[in-house]
């Protein structure tokens, strides 16, 4: 039986069970969730009925915290973009509700305080993650900051105090040298000097002159205020430009700075008191006004109202338009749970006052689904377990057989694609598809091994068969050269002789490349003074190639590697042969040797035509490559030579890189060896 039938028969019995269970649980879950949606909508309707025609509960006014005696700052929601420019135009509707701060809000002052000479009123707004403020200051003689003074409090300025996420007090000063953008600094308790000297870029502000004094408009992230939403503002007035001392300091907290700061509030305590008796276990109940401000919120350790506002604007908008709505969402703090929200409008004779929102998690439904799943799973557990166990055993055995066959075949081929001595592979006697695959691969490897052996012996055979007629031709040309010949005949004979020498060189290179790796396996390594070896080699090259100028630069007198000196000279032969071959007469060939960290860099550079990217990519591949190019046997010679260079370098633990010189004025080949430390 083939593998396809085995897998099909093993899995067909289990395919139907999960589908049936999923359909059953899905239908039950949808039915229960729809029932909960209807129940929550009825609960929201009941709360909304108790708030009908209660217009007094939805007036936009400030509430007071009687527990602390400190006023609550009401931040009105803003649904449009405010430009921080100090103008009052963006605040026309919100500025009506500004709070005036004067003598009853003095933190400190001189003996003769005149509220007509210095006071301020402030309006707050909230948009997205920012708190906006407009402060309209009455001041007959504003004093700006003098850049010559490092102190920040010797001029008119705004002081801001917040509690961060850790409950620690933060103090900021807003100041400027002239009307325009304000600069915010984090300061210490004495309000004199900046803590770091760098401005707080998160706070944006603008100072603009007005008829009665000046307007200050600023924006700061709500993250600076912290979860407690504690916040206070004070405006300092400096009268004497010479003494530059704060004459009067008026703030939203009518005491010296302490942890009892103002609280920013959007909710109504009276509304909360009314709906307290209507709360349900596990549910969140919110009351929002026509501006979508949360005026009341009671919770039973459920999800935050902020998540509801962020996720369910569409449902709230429907309710504020007079249409009950339901919606489901996943809260940010628990992506695995789902919350059902029901919104019902609060009506009055004058229109829609707001909406009641009831939120309840589907945890109870999920628990019921889980219980149902357990009951269903009990009936099919034995069947599913048996099928899964069978599939697991079968798949494990199948995976083991395929992996073993893969490893055996991979071991027969080295990193350059050469076949290793053949070994018997597994599963040749198996009667399934893996057995057939194993037999096919085995037969293919035998044929491939025969062909590979033929190709490996071919270079030596070709060298012998080609050299014999080449030697005969060479001898004939030598005999002809001894005769009386014309200059034109001598030119032809010399050209033919160069061609014969080139054929000798190519056959020798092919033979060297074919036998090199086998020969390197038996080589012995020892310490080599590479600096001295290359220096002597360069002197020898200069004598052998008088038509080229050889230059050698070495940064150190003695650089050692672990290797075989004969093979290093063979590597240099190939590099220099390529450099001579592809450089013009009377040009310079530059050799350099330097140590870089724990490696040694040997480079050979020559003038001449650059190597194209296509040929360079081919030369970077493993194994000998024969590249045909516009220059005849350029690719053949270069490909075989670099193969020899790369093989010797890698045998010594190094690597080869080929590229063009700067400006594409020639070719540079570099070899990196590991440094030998004695």
Domain endpoint, select from 265, 281, 306: 265
Q: Which residues share a beta bridge with 22?
A: none
Pairing of strands 72-77, 118-127: parallel
**What does the block give as tokens for 56?**
């007094």
Cα 342 from Cα 363, distance rounded (Å): 16
- Asked whether residue 404 is assigned to any structural domain, the reply reads no
When pLDDT is cut at 50, 70 and 90, the band that residue 269 belongs to is: low
Q: What are phi and psi of 594, to 5 degrees?
A: -150, 155
Q: Which residues share a beta bridge with 234?
A: 159, 251
- Asked whether residue 205 is assigned to any structural domain, the reply reads yes
Supply the pLDDT for residue 516: 67
Q: Which residues share a beta bridge with 550?
A: 589
User: Contact at 8 Å (CB) between 341 and 327?
Assistant: yes
Same domain, 332 and 424: no
Cα 474 from Cα 552, distance rounded (Å): 36
List the end-to-end C-alpha distance of the chain, in Å, as a whole number: 65
Which value, in Å, is the radius of gyration of the alpha carbons in the chain?
45
**What does the block give as tokens for 455?**
């190709």
Residue whose token pair is 């050269």: 481
- Asked whether residue 382 is assigned to any structural domain, the reply reads no
Q: Which of the pair, 38 or 23, is modelled with greater confidence? A: 38
Say which residues have a Cβ less than 8 Å from residue 175's Cβ, sequence separation at least 6: 145, 152, 155, 157, 158, 182, 183, 185
Torsional sign, CA 185, 191, 192, 193: negative
> What angle, 0 to 180 degrees and rounded to 10, lies between the N-to-C axes of helices 634-651 and 565-581?
160
- Asked whether residue 288 is assigned to any structural domain, the reply reads yes
**What does the block give as tokens for 561?**
């590697």
Q: Which residues share a beta bridge with 599?
A: 596, 674
The CATH number that applies at residue 527 is: 3.30.565.10
Domain endpoint, select from 246, 265, 284: 265
pTM score, two decimals? 0.37
Following CA atoms 643, 648, 650, 655 in sequence, which dihedral angle do they give, to the nearest 10 degrees? -70
DSSP string, 543-587: HH-TTSEEEEEESSS--EEEE-HHHHHHHHHHHHHHHHHTS-TT-
Same domain, 53 and 106: no
The string of pLDDT tens digits covering residues 463-507 is 667 777 877 887 887 777 778 778 787 788 777 877 777 777 677
Average pLDDT over residues 320-346: 81
Supply the pLDDT for residue 603: 93
Same domain, 357 and 441: no
Cα 361 from Cα 163, distance rounded (Å): 32
The CATH number that applies at residue 468 is: 1.10.287
- Asked whether residue 370 is assigned to any structural domain, the reply reads no
The CATH number that applies at residue 277 is: 3.30.450.20
Percent of the chain with pLDDT over 90: 20
Supply the pLDDT for residue 223: 87
The string of pLDDT tens digits covering residues 162-173 is 988 788 889 999
- Asked whether residue 221 is assigned to any structural domain, the reply reads yes
CA of residue 420 relative to chain centroid, distance: 44
Same domain, 197 and 255: yes
Check pLDDT > 60 for residue 400: yes
Supply the pLDDT for residue 119: 93
Please tell me whether residue 95 adopts helix, strand or coil conformation.
Answer: helix
Check pLDDT > 90 for residue 234: yes
Say which residues have a Cβ less than 8 Å from residue 279's Cβ, sequence separation at least 6: 285, 298, 300
Same domain, 110 and 257: yes
Check pLDDT > 80 for residue 255: no
User: Contact at 8 Å (CB) between 530 and 560?
Assistant: yes
Same domain, 340 and 227: no
When pLDDT is cut at 50, 70 and 90, the band that residue 93 belongs to is: low
- Asked whether residue 582 is assigned to any structural domain, the reply reads yes
Which residue in 370, 338, 347 sits closest to 37, CA to CA? 338
Same domain, 291 and 215: no
The CATH number that applies at residue 175 is: 2.60.40.1190
* Burial label, 379 (beta-carbon count in 10 A; 0-12, 13-18, 19+): exposed
Check pLDDT > 60 for residue 182: yes
Same domain, 429 and 341: no
Supply the pLDDT for residue 327: 85
Helix or strand holding residue 487 (H, E): helix 487-520
Supply the pLDDT for residue 631: 44
Supply the pLDDT for residue 523: 75
The string of pLDDT tens digits covering residues 540-558 is 888 888 889 999 999 888 8
Average pLDDT over residues 189-202: 90
Same domain, 130 and 26: no
* Burial label, 349 (beta-carbon count in 10 A; 0-12, 13-18, 19+): exposed
Helix or strand holding residue 250 (H, E): strand 246-251
Q: How far is CA 393 from CA 132, 399, 408, 433, in A?
A: 66, 10, 23, 18
Ramachandran assignment for 133, one of left (phi > 0), alpha (psi -120 to 50 degrees), beta (any other) = beta
Same domain, 139 and 183: yes
When pLDDT is cut at 50, 70 and 90, the band that residue 51 belongs to is: confident
Which residue in 642, 423, 603 sits closest to 512, CA to CA? 642
Check pLDDT > 60 for residue 428: yes
User: What is the extent of the structural domain holding 559?
Assistant: 523-674
Average pLDDT over residues 196-221: 93
Supply the pLDDT for residue 13: 64
Check pLDDT > 60 for residue 62: no
Same domain, 486 and 455: yes
Domain endpoint, select from 221, 236, 265: 265
User: Contact at 8 Å (CB) between 656 and 669?
Assistant: yes
- Asked whether residue 372 is assigned to any structural domain, the reply reads no
The string of pLDDT tens digits covering residues 343-357 is 999 998 888 988 998
Query: How many structural domains compose the chain?
Result: 4
Supply the pLDDT for residue 248: 92
When pLDDT is cut at 50, 70 and 90, the band that residue 402 belongs to is: confident
Same domain, 18 and 55: yes
Q: Which of the pair, 286 or 29, is modelled with greater confidence? A: 286
When pLDDT is cut at 50, 70 and 90, the band that residue 260 belongs to is: confident
The string of pLDDT tens digits covering residues 573-603 is 889 988 988 889 889 999 999 988 889 999 9
């Amino acid at each position: 039986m083939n593998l396809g039938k085995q897998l099909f028969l093993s899995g067909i019995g289990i395919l139907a069970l999960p589908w049936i269970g999923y359909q059953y649980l899905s239908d039950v879950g949808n039915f229960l969730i729809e029932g909960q949606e209807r129940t929550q909508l009825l609960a929201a309707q009941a709360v909304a009925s108790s708030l009908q025609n209660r217009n007094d509960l939805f007036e936009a006014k400030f509430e007071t915290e009687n527990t602390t005696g400190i006023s609550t700052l009401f931040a009105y929601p803003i649904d449009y973009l405010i430009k921080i420019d100090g103008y009052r135009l963006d605040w026309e509707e919100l500025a009506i509700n500004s709070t005036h701060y004067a003598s009853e809000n003095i933190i400190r002052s001189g003996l003769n305080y005149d509220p007509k000479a210095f006071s301020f009123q402030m309006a707050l707004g909230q948009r997205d993650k920012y708190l906006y403020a407009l402060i309209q200051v009455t001041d007959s003689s504003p004093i700006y900051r003098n850049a010559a003074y490092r102190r920040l409090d010797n001029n008119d300025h705004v002081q801001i105090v917040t509690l961060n996420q850790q409950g620690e007090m933060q103090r900021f000063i807003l100041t400027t040298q002239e009307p325009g953008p304000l600069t915010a600094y984090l300061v210490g308790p004495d309000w004199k000097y900046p803590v770091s000297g760098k401005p707080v870029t998160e706070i944006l502000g603008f100072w603009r002159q007005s008829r009665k004094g000046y307007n200050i408009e600023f924006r700061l992230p709500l993250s600076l205020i912290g979860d407690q939403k504690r916040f206070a503002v004070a405006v300092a007035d400096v009268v004497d430009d010479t003494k530059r001392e704060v004459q009067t300091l008026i703030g939203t907290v009518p005491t010296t700075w302490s942890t009892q700061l103002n609280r920013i509030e959007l909710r109504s305590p009276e509304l909360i008191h009314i709906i307290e008796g209507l709360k349900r276990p596990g549910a969140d109940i919110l009351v929002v006004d026509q501006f979508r401000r949360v005026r009341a919120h009671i919770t039973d350790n459920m999800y935050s109202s902020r998540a509801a506002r962020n996720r369910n604007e569409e449902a709230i908008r429907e309710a504020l338009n007079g249409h009950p709505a339901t919606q489901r969402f996943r809260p940010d703090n628990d992506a695995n749970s789902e919350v059902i929200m029901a919104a019902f409008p609060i009506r009055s004779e004058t229109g829609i006052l707001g909406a009641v929102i009831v939120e309840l998690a589907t945890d109870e439904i999920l628990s019921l689904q889980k219980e149902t799943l357990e009951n269903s799973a009990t009936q099919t557990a034995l069947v599913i377990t048996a099928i899964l166990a069978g599939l697991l055993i079968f798949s494990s055995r199948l995976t083991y057989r395929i992996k073993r066959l893969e490893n055996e075949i991979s071991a027969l081929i080295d990193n350059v694609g050469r076949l290793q001595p053949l070994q018997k592979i597994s599963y040749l006697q198996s009667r399934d598809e893996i057995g057939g695959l194993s037999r096919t691969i085995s037969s293919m490897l035998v044929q491939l091994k025969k062909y590979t052996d033929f190709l490996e012996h071919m270079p030596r055979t070709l060298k012998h068969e080609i050299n014999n007629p080449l030697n005969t031709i060479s001898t004939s040309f030598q005999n002809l050269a001894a005769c009386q010949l014309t200059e034109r005949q001598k030119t032809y004979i010399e050209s033919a002789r160069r061609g014969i020498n080139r054929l000798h060189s190519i056959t020798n290179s092919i033979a060297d490349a074919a036998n090199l790796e086998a020969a390197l396996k038996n080589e012995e390594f020892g310490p080599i003074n590479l600096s001295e070896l290359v220096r002597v080699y360069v002197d020898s090259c200069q004598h052998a190639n008088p038509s080229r100028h050889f230059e050698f630069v070495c940064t150190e007198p003695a650089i050692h590697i672990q290797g075989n000196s004969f093979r290093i000279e063979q590597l240099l032969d190939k590099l220099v042969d390529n450099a001579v071959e592809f450089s013009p007469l009377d040009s310079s060939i530059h050799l350099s040797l330097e140590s870089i960290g724990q490696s040694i860099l040997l480079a050979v550079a020559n003038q001449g035509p650059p190597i194209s990217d296509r040929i360079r990519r081919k030369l970077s591949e493993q194994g000998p490559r024969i590249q045909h190019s516009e220059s005849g046997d350029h690719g053949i010679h270069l490909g075989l030579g670099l193969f020899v260079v790369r093989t010797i370098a890698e045998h010594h633990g190094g690597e080869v890189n080929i590229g063009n010189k700067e400006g594409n004025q020639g070719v540079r080949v570099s070899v990196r060896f590991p440094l030998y430390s004695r």
